[in-house]
Copies of this chain bind each other. A is one copy, B any other.
Amino acid sequence: MEMAGCGDKKQDLAMRLRRVEGQIRGLQRMVEDDKYCIDTLTQVSAATSALRSFALSLLEDHLVQCVAAPASKGGPEATARVREAADAIARLVRS
């Protein structure tokens, strides 16, 4: 049941991740420089939010391209794909 990644927004997704990587490197400098914990925690919250937004963007893409589109062609695969997506959403909600 493998499928190519949901590629349409690839540039946007890559850019979001580079930004998160920058935030994580910023956090490393904050720890290295003994910055005040509360400021570090605020930066962690920002990075977590950015990761969540990345995930939600990827997920919407996935639902359009890998759930609704195959379903529209019929076949028994739709329910399996929905279950798989629902499991990924549950992991996301609980992470």
Contact = CB atoms under 8 A, between A and B. Distances in A.
A22 B2 CA distance: 25
Interface of A: 2-7, 10, 13-14, 17-18, 20-21, 24-25, 27-28, 30-38, 40-42, 44-49, 51-52, 54-56, 58-64, 66-69, 71-72, 74, 78-79, 81-86, 88-95
Q: A-side binding surface: helix, strand, loop or mixed?
A: helix
B14 A41 contact: no
Report the copy number of this chain in the oligomer: 4
Nearest to A35: B5
Contact of A82 (B64, B79, B86): B64
A59 B89 contact: yes
Contacts of A13: 31
14 contacts: A6-B37, A18-B28, A20-B24, A38-B84, A40-B58, A48-B48, A52-B95, A56-B86, A59-B89, A60-B82, A63-B85, A63-B86, A64-B79, A72-B72
